Structure 1
Amino acid sequence: MFSDLFPRAVVSSDATASKDTFVFPYEQGFLHLPKTDLTEREMALIQLLAPNVEEAVTTNPWLSFLQGEAALPITKTDLQLVYLHHSTALPEDLRELLEAIFPNSLLVTKLSNQQSLLVLDASDTQDTSVVIKDILPTVESDFGISLKVFIGNAWIGFSEQDLQVTLIKEYALFQEYYDAKAQQSATTFAQVLLWALAKEKNTEQLSQQLLALLDKLKDGRELVTAMWQEHGNLVQTAQRLFIHRNSLQYRLDKCYQSTGLNLKDLDDLALAYLLILKD
């Protein structure tokens, strides 16, 4: 019905309004109507019947930031974003729990009725994905809520402008993945970028950004290649590189701090190696 009247109308699970789009609830999701497809009379009718829908989804400064319509809402630029999709509104108790679990938590904010954002200080060296995967089943059971969690990369050392470009691309990619095939309860940045590369989607900006970070490390590509060739075996990798096991761990830690990639995780290692091969 909508496709006949408005061919460019889109129905998705989350409200992602912008200054060029009207968004309002439709069935179990949200209907997005480009304003350029509407007559003045249709626009006036929508504003009369649903004056608060667009405002509700566009006034959040983080959503505006992720859509490229506003500046970074905080001064810190070493950030990791965790995107939470939930079947019902996020309980306040759960929001407080998330802030308590992560000592590097900066804030938890609502992007829409079914999407929230956990903002973390990326200068902390904790591997967020491990913690989230461990606690997620318990959280869903205790709070009676279904969650899909997308764990963004830890981005460090960026200017505000470069960070915004990178996070906009990351957010859009997670949204596309969610609408296409989100099945796992927790999905990492590496898993989504591998999916996008396999589907031949436009990932050039994110891929080049990761490669640039990797190349800032001394012998970063050599480390990734050795880890891949030894199937992630730390003892054999250390022998191949002619270094002590403790020295290898130090280099792995430095890699994570610089790129956000944990090379002891197979998905992260596969992504890093694939990016090197494609370069």
Structure 2
Amino acid sequence: MIIVEGSFMVFSELFPNAFVSNEAIADQNVLVIPYQQGFLHLPKASLTEREMALIEFLSPSDKVVIDNTWLSFFQGDSALPLSLSEGQMILIGHQRSMPSELLNFFKDLFPNLFTLASLGKQQTLLLLSPDLGNSVETSLSQLLVTLESDFGLALSFYVGKAWPALTERDLATYWRLEYGLCQQYHALEQEEPVISFARLMLRAMTGETSESAGALREQLLETILPVKDSRDLITVLWQEQGNLVQTAQRLFIHRNSLQYRLDKFYQATGLNLKVLDDLALAYLIILQD
């Protein structure tokens, strides 16, 4: 936003409901813009559509308008902003606001991206439609060093679970639980550069299980058990250390049939049993049942 030092008094005369604070307030009815060392808040009800468009257009390119709609949703203060029944959350941690060039890079990297929103100066949200053929965690791990070098910005990634075929209400519940689990992990200050949902759940389930992790475990169990022969599939694959040939032999099926069952399992649960962390999580869940 183009506001020079000492000019806020003039600006407040034009927008008397505007105010500045050190923290961004999560409210879907307020437009928030990074300003100096804090945040400028503008109630949307006091703005015309033309004023909102102009304010966003005049914002410096390396500043991002914070999407309070999503921040408010994750904090449990508002409903899911979009009508969705499936999706995968990516949370990007960064020391300062991400430049527009980096945001555009992520848009190009993920053709299945349907939402990109800033949750503050140090966190950005990506929401993807589930993609069976794309390993998001691997892609980000391979790109991390290059991105940090090119943009001079330390980054961390949380790669969420691909939630498939849920009701909108359930998806909202599980995304909030997932966000809460991620925030608890960040509070420990023992962050990995790239961490997945499965690895985060494994940490929680093998340590002091949080309320969020417990609720997510129960949901995962409810999606795993209805899959035909899921216990045998998970157990044998775990015992064979993920070896598909040996697993197919022990299950007395062709390898193509095994691949079909793995794909169906992913579509039903969002867990890819060919990924060791996902397999370990599925095995631990049925073991504790």
TM-score by length of 1: 0.78
Question: Any conservation in 1 of the 2:66–2:118 contact (CA below 8 Å)?
Answer: no
Measure, in 1, the Cα distance between the counterparts of 2:239 and 2:149: 40
Bigger Cα displacement from structure 2, 175-184 vs 103-112? 175-184
Measure, in 2, the Cα distance between the counterparts of 1:261 and 1:212: 13
Query: Is the aligned partner of 1:126 residue 2:134?
Result: yes
> Which residue of 2 is the match for residue 5 of structure 1?
none
Per-residue deviation, 1:17: 5.5
Query: Is the aligned partner of 1:212 residue 2:229?
Result: no
Measure, in 2, the Cα distance between the counterparts of 1:92 and 1:219: 47
Query: What is the correspondence of 1:90-101 to structure 2 with a 5 Å cutoff?
Result: 90-101=98-109
Measure, in 2, the Cα distance between the counterparts of 1:94 and 1:181: 25
Look up the equivalent residue of 2:171 and give its one-letter code. L
Cα pair distance change 1:91/1:212, threshold 3 Å:
same
Query: Is the aligned partner of 1:179 residue 2:187?
Result: yes
Does the residue aligned with 1:151 lie in a helix, a strand or coil? strand
Query: Is the aligned partner of 1:115 residue 2:152?
Result: no
Question: What fraction of aligned residue pairs are identical, expressed as a percent?
Answer: 44
Structure 1, gaps ≥5 residues long: 1-14, 20-49
What is the total number of aligned residue pairs between the two structures?
236
Question: Any conservation in 1 of the 2:88–2:162 contact (CA below 8 Å)?
Answer: yes
Look up the equivalent residue of 2:264 and give its one-letter code. K
Task: Answer with 1 or 2: which has the greater Rg.
Answer: 2
Measure, in 1, the Cα distance between the counterparts of 2:111 and 2:179: 23
> Which residue of 2 is the match for residue 63 of structure 1?
71
Does the residue aligned with 1:80 lie in a helix, a strand or coil? strand
CA deviation map 1:94-145 (0-9, x unaligned): 1111011111001211000000001101266423222222222221121111
Bigger Cα displacement from structure 2, 268-277 vs 132-141? 132-141
Per-residue deviation, 1:216: 2.8
Look up the equivalent residue of 2:228 and give its one-letter code. K
Specify which of 262, 271, 274 is matched with residue 261 of structure 1: 271
Note the aligned Cα RMSD (angstroms): 2.4
Cα pair distance change 1:17/1:263, threshold 3 Å:
farther
Look up the equivalent residue of 2:271 and give its one-letter code. L
> Which residue of 2 is the match for residue 237 of structure 1?
247
Does the residue aligned with 2:160 lie in a helix, a strand or coil? strand
Structure 2, gaps ≥5 residues long: 1-22, 28-37, 44-63
Question: Any conservation in 1 of the 2:86–2:164 contact (CA below 8 Å)?
Answer: yes
TM-score by length of 2: 0.75
Cα pair distance change 1:110/1:131, threshold 3 Å:
same
Q: Which runs of 4+ in 1 moved over 4 A?
A: 15-19, 50-59
Query: Is the aligned partner of 1:165 residue 2:165?
Result: no
Per-residue deviation, 1:256: 1.9
Does the residue aligned with 1:199 lie in a helix, a strand or coil? coil
Does the residue aligned with 2:162 lie in a helix, a strand or coil? strand
Specify which of 137, 140, 144 is matched with residue 145 of structure 2: 137
